[in-house]
């Protein structure tokens, strides 16, 4: 081939690239092409492609004639290896040794920004200063008008947590193509602004840009994270039309979307559309099982994957370990979880953020908060998931103060992760169980500010929090303002009304929920049966219990039977209640249902059945004191003082101690907190003042009505304010 031909082809293609890249003065400057180029490039390319960057660098350094193409090739290698320092060093050398236009070449600058983006994604906090300096250079040299350069720059800003700067770069792009649009969509979604991401996706389609599989994958991720199944279905239809639903990226995203909504069949169908199963596909499969409550199958799939590992290239990675450890967490198999912890450590994966996060969840879920805490404190980079995991761990164990302290620490942390729906939901659940509505309201404000108030997870937690704090009107306000429907929000409303004794509202909501096509779950039926119980609607309760499996496909569990046992017992239908207990699977029968029956017997003075129930309670919970107390009361109510005393004696003999009852109250003022009342506690420094106030209160109350003699509370109750 004659050099002149080769050279002119090169120049034409360069001009074409510049036009496509949107460079303003596209063909304005010329490259100097040597007629007899040394065979540097093919060898360099080969070394870079096989990842031998050190060798590539030796070759590069040993070659006297190096043009921008050689620089760009090596820079691309550094970018792919996420080696920002090397990329920066090489770029600086080019700037120092060549005329300015060499460093301003989009082919050179783009990989430098890409390396920047990878470093930013790896939470390298110092990277933003470099990005800004390079940005300034790109503006001065006009390289920023290349869509390649500006896209990579915007991506670096977005991954470094400066979405504002990224958006600015996007806005100033002279032209956008499918890649820059996709970067924009993905950046917004990653920052938690999923609705904005979807708006931009719509804008992108309207602008006439042809979407590819990358674009659909980004949009589907936004749908899945925003909790928008219908939108996800629409996007699915769009990409299915183009046949893009079988590409691995899209298929995995689709599976995630459906699994997140509990539709394991569609999730599995999506995975099976892929030709071969790589690590990500295996991981998606395992994760789909986990998210749909099929943990055993998840673990089996993981084992199958390990068996395939030797013959296949699909070795589990950090994401896989995350998923399977999460499976162990859900079903509280801490021993298996520990083994996986060791396995991951052996493979050098235990310090990866995702593995650490699921380990924290595992230990927290299995009641080993200190182990969870160690994992959390031991992880070097913490993201919003790490914080949410540990906050949720404390929240689920009822440690409200610790949960809020961690939340405050998170908000003051240097990386300052934005709270998301998981963080808020965990904290709201703590507020709900502590009936701390003030804190709950503040979280509500935070949710609005973060644009998360319409997320199903947040909405249902808000409804639950207001309901449990006693304000059904606030719960109703949140519920009425909903922009989409989900089972959990409806259920929270039903349970809220049921627990407030608004049985009619609860049951009406239930019927309406079924009318709009939502499928009630087992929690919904707890609410329904509680409502029946509070209203004394025995027949209705029995009707719903029978309809559960027949009509709604929800198998009643011991909790449901327990509600109805309680209902029958309160109505005095003790025999039927006893019969119903017989319908609970023997291995599920626990002390709770027998306690319900026992209480009913006590209320009705049904001594014989009561004795039997008490026996069963004691069989199930030999350490418990409830049965003895109730039986003692039963005997006492019938004037059988000797039997009553015998029960008390029995308790003492067995060394059973009734745990101290406690209660809590929100304390306002400067140092807001939750005060805990506990019987027999003398730790409060202000106990004299508290005593005095209590005496005054009892005195006041005594003026109004007679205080029964057996309530010697004045001498027992003290107040502890934490």
677, β-bridge pairs: 663, 719
259 binds DNA (CB under 7 A): yes
What is the C-alpha to C-alpha distance for residues 285 and 668, in angstroms, rounded to an integer? 49
Query: Site residues for DNA, window 332-391 (CB under 7 A)?
Result: 353-354, 357-358, 361, 383-385, 388-389
Q: How far is the CB of 133 from DNA (least distance, A)?
A: 18
Query: Site residues for DNA, window 105-144 (CB under 7 A)?
Result: 105-108, 110-111, 113-114, 117
Stretch that binds DNA, among 171-179, 621-629, 635-643, 661-669 (CB under 7 A): 171-179
Query: Site residues for DNA, window 401-440 (CB under 7 A)?
Result: 420, 422-423, 426
Query: Site residues for DNA, window 629-688 (CB under 7 A)?
Result: none
Between 422 and 594, CB nearer to DNA = 422
Stretch that binds DNA, among 316-324, 486-494, 680-688, 697-705 (CB under 7 A): 316-324
Query: Are the CB atoms for 721 and 673 separated by under 8 Å?
Result: yes
Between 376 and 635, CB nearer to DNA = 376
Q: How far is the CB of 319 from DNA (least distance, A)?
A: 4
Binding DNA (rule: CB under 7 A), the pick from 86, 145, 146, 503 is 146
Q: How far is the CB of 1 from DNA (least distance, A)?
A: 16
3-class DSSP state for residue 377?
helix
Stretch that binds DNA, among 124-132, 241-249, 505-513, 535-543 (CB under 7 A): 241-249
720, β-bridge pairs: 676
3-class DSSP state for residue 717?
strand
Q: How far is the CB of 18 from DNA (least distance, A)?
A: 8
147 binds DNA (CB under 7 A): yes
Q: How far is the CB of 52 from DNA (least distance, A)?
A: 16
Binding DNA (rule: CB under 7 A), the pick from 40, 53, 69, 719 is 69
Q: How many residues does the chain have?
A: 722
Binding DNA (rule: CB under 7 A), the pick from 283, 460, 491, 720 is 283
291 binds DNA (CB under 7 A): yes
Binding DNA (rule: CB under 7 A), the pick from 83, 124, 155, 647 is 155
Between 267 and 535, CB nearer to DNA = 267
Please tell me what DSSP assigns to residue 419: P
Q: How far is the CB of 294 from DNA (least distance, A)?
A: 12
Neighbours of 457 (CB within 10 A): 19
The token duo for 446 is 């935070």
318 binds DNA (CB under 7 A): yes
Stretch that binds DNA, among 182-190, 533-541, 547-555, 693-701 (CB under 7 A): 182-190
Between 112 and 563, CB nearer to DNA = 112
Cα distances (Å, whole numbers) of residue 216 to 11, 224, 253, 264, 320: 35, 12, 9, 21, 24
| H helix runs in 583-672, sequence order | 591-604, 607-620, 626-637, 641-654
319 binds DNA (CB under 7 A): yes
Using CB under 7 A, count the residues that bind DNA: 85
Please count the CA atoms within 13 angstroms of the CA of 566 that sit on its side-chain side: 18
Q: At what angle do helices 213-226 and 178-190 cross, to 10 degrees?
A: 20
Q: How far is the CB of 462 from DNA (least distance, A)?
A: 17
Query: Site residues for DNA, window 583-612 (CB under 7 A)?
Result: none
460 binds DNA (CB under 7 A): no
Binding DNA (rule: CB under 7 A), the pick from 186, 299, 463, 606 is 186
DSSP track, 34-96: -SS--THHHHHHHHHHTT-HHHHHHHHHH-S---HHHHHHHHHHHHHTT-HHHHHHHHHHHHH
Neighbours of 34 (CB within 10 A): 10
DSSP track, 466-523: HHHTT-HHHHHHHHHT-SS--HHHHHHHHHHHHHTT-HHHHHHHHHHHHHTT----HH
Between 268 and 323, CB nearer to DNA = 323
In terms of Cβ atoms closer than 10 Å to its own Cβ (0-12, 13-18, 19+), residue 557 is middle
Q: How far is the CB of 217 from DNA (least distance, A)?
A: 4
Please count the CA atoms within 13 angstroms of the CA of 284 that sit on its side-chain side: 28
188 binds DNA (CB under 7 A): no
Q: 543 — phi, psi (to 5°)?
A: -65, -45
Binding DNA (rule: CB under 7 A), the pick from 145, 292, 322, 379 is 322
Stretch that binds DNA, among 322-330, 402-410, 495-503, 685-693 (CB under 7 A): 322-330
Stretch that binds DNA, among 76-84, 505-513, 636-644, 702-710 (CB under 7 A): 76-84
Binding DNA (rule: CB under 7 A), the pick from 72, 131, 436, 632 is 72
68 binds DNA (CB under 7 A): yes
Q: 673 — phi, psi (to 5°)?
A: -175, -175
The token duo for 165 is 């700067």
Identify the H or E element spanning 675: strand 673-679
Cα distances (Å, whole numbers) of residue 588 to 218, 333, 366: 45, 19, 20
What is the C-alpha to C-alpha distance for residues 206 and 197, in angstroms, rounded to an integer? 14
Stretch that binds DNA, among 212-220, 433-441, 463-471, 578-586 (CB under 7 A): 212-220
Q: How far is the CB of 216 from DNA (least distance, A)?
A: 7
Q: How far is the CB of 283 from DNA (least distance, A)?
A: 4
> What is the chain's alpha carbon radius of gyration, rounded to the nearest angstrom?
33
Q: How far is the CB of 38 from DNA (least distance, A)?
A: 16
3-class DSSP state for residue 122?
coil
Stretch that binds DNA, among 317-325, 494-502, 586-594, 595-603 (CB under 7 A): 317-325
215 binds DNA (CB under 7 A): yes
Q: How far is the CB of 316 from DNA (least distance, A)?
A: 9
DSSP track, 577-595: HHHHHTTS-TTT--HHHHH
Q: How far is the CB of 630 from DNA (least distance, A)?
A: 37
The token duo for 265 is 């069949």
Q: How far is the CB of 171 from DNA (least distance, A)?
A: 16
Binding DNA (rule: CB under 7 A), the pick from 17, 33, 399, 552 is 17
Q: How far is the CB of 431 from DNA (least distance, A)?
A: 16
Binding DNA (rule: CB under 7 A), the pick from 86, 252, 503, 533 is 252
Binding DNA (rule: CB under 7 A), the pick from 86, 145, 213, 460 is 213
What is the C-alpha to C-alpha distance for residues 541 and 234, in angstroms, rounded to an integer? 40
The token duo for 632 is 């003692």
662, β-bridge pairs: 678
Between 48 and 498, CB nearer to DNA = 48
Q: What is the dihedral of CA 611, 612, 614, 620, to 10 degrees?
A: 160
Between 408 and 619, CB nearer to DNA = 408
Site string for DNA, 37-56 (x = CB under 7 A): --------x-----------
Please tell me what DSSP assigns to residue 554: -
Q: How far is the CB of 653 from DNA (least distance, A)?
A: 44
Between 385 and 545, CB nearer to DNA = 385
Between 111 and 569, CB nearer to DNA = 111
3-class DSSP state for residue 404?
helix
Identify the H or E element spanning 526: helix 522-535
């Amino acid at each position: 081939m004659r050099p002149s031909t080769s050279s002119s082809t090169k120049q034409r293609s360069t001009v074409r690239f510049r036009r496509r890249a949107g460079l303003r003065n596209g063909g304005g400057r010329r490259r100097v092409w040597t007629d007899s180029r040394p065979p540097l490039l093919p060898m360099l390319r080969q070394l870079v492609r096989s990842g031998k960057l050190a060798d590539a660098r030796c070759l590069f350094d040993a070659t006297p004639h190096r043009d921008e193409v050689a620089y760009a090739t090596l820079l691309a290698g550094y970018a792919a290896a996420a080696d920002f320092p090397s990329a920066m060093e090489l770029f600086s050398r080019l700037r120092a040794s060549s005329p300015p236009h060499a460093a301003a070449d989009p082919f050179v600058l783009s990989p430098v920004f890409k390396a920047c983006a990878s470093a930013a994604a790896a939470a390298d906090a110092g990277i933003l200063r470099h990005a800004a300096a390079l940005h300034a250079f790109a503006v001065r040299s006009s390289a920023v008008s290349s869509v390649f350069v500006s896209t990579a720059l915007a991506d670096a800003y977005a991954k470094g947590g400066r979405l504002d700067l990224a958006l600015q770069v996007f806005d100033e792009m002279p032209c956008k193509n499918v890649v820059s649009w996709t970067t924009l969509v993905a950046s917004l979604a990653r920052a938690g602004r999923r609705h904005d991401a979807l708006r931009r996706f719509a804008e992108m389609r309207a602008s006439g840009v042809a979407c590819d599989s990358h674009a659909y994958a980004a949009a589907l991720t936004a749908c899945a994270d925003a909790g928008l199944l219908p939108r996800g279905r629409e996007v699915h239809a769009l990409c299915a039309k183009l046949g893009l639903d079988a590409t691995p990226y899209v298929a995995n995203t689709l599976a995630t979307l459906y699994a997140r909504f509990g539709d394991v069949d569609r999730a599995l169908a999506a995975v099976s559309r892929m030709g071969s199963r790589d690590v990500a596909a295996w991981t998606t499969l395992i994760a789909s099982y986990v998210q749909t409550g099929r943990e055993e199958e998840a673990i089996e799939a993981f084992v199958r994957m390990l068996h395939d590992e030797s013959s296949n290239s699909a070795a589990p990675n950090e994401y896989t370990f995350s998923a399977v450890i999460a499976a162990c967490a859900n079903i509280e198999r801490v021993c298996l979880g520990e083994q996986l912890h060791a396995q991951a450590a052996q493979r050098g994966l235990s310090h990866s953020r995702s593995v650490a996060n699921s380990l924290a969840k595992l230990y927290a879920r299995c009641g080993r908060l200190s182990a969870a805490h160690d994992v959390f404190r031991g992880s070097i980079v913490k993201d919003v998931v790490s914080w949410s995991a540990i906050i949720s761990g404390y929240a689920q164990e009822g440690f409200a103060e610790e949960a809020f302290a961690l939340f405050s620490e998170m908000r003051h942390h240097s990386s300052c992760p934005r709270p998301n729906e998981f963080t808020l939901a965990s904290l709201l659940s703590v507020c709900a169980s502590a009936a701390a509505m003030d804190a709950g309201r503040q979280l509500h404000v935070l949710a609005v500010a973060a644009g998360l108030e319409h997320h199903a997870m947040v909405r249902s937690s808000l409804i639950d929090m207001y309901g449990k704090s006693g304000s059904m009107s606030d719960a109703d306000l949140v519920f009425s303002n909903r922009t989409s429907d989900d089972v959990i929000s409806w259920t929270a409303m039903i349970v809220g009304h049921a627990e407030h004794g608004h049985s009619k509202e609860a049951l009406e909501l239930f019927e309406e929920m079924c009318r709009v096509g939502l499928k009630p779950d087992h929690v919904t039926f707890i609410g329904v049966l509680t409502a029946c119980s509070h209203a004394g609607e025995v027949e209705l309760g029995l009707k719903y219990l029978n309809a559960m499996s027949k009509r709604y496909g929800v198998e009643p569990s011991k909790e449901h039977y327990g509600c109805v046992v309680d209902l029958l017992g309160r109505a005095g239908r003790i025999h039927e209640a006893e019969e119903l207990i017989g319908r609970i699977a023997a291995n599920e029968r626990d002390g709770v249902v027998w306690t319900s029956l026992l209480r009913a017997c006590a209320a009705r003075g049904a001594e014989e059945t009561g004795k039997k129930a008490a026996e069963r309670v004691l069989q199930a919970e030999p350490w418990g004191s409830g049965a003895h107390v109730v039986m003692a009361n039963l005997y006492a109510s019938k004037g059988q003082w000797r039997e009553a005393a015998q029960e008390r004696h029995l308790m003492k003999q067995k060394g059973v101690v009734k745990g101290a009852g406690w209660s809590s109250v929100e304390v306002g003022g400067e140092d807001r907190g939750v005060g805990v009342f506990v019987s027999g506690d003398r730790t409060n420094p202000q106990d004299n003042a508290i005593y005095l106030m209590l005496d005054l209160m009892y005195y006041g109350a005594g003026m109004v009505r007679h205080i029964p003699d057996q309530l010697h509370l004045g001498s027992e109750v003290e107040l502890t304010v934490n």
